[in-house]
Amino acid sequence: MAKNNRLDMAALGLVILGGLNWGLIAAFQWDFVDALLGSLPTLQRLLYLLVGLSALYMLYNTVTNK
């Protein structure tokens, strides 16, 4: 198993944050990102974009690293 670099760890952290946020939305109808950055919609959108890009990065790494 390859050693994880900083980009891998950052992507993992963002994907976990996104997953936990979706879980909170489903279970309690509470959006953690909105509660944290609600007054900063541009940063909110940027965080969601980074979560999505991190998921794509992790998918790519999973498929290409056998």
What is the full per-residue pLDDT of the chain (66 aa) written as tens digits? Answer: 456 799 999 999 999 999 999 999 999 999 999 999 988 999 999 999 999 999 999 999 999 986
- In single-letter form, the type of residue at position 25 comes to I
- Residue 24 corresponds to which tokens in the numbers above? 């909170």
The full set of domain ranges for the chain reads 33-66
Distance CA 54, CA 14 (A): 7
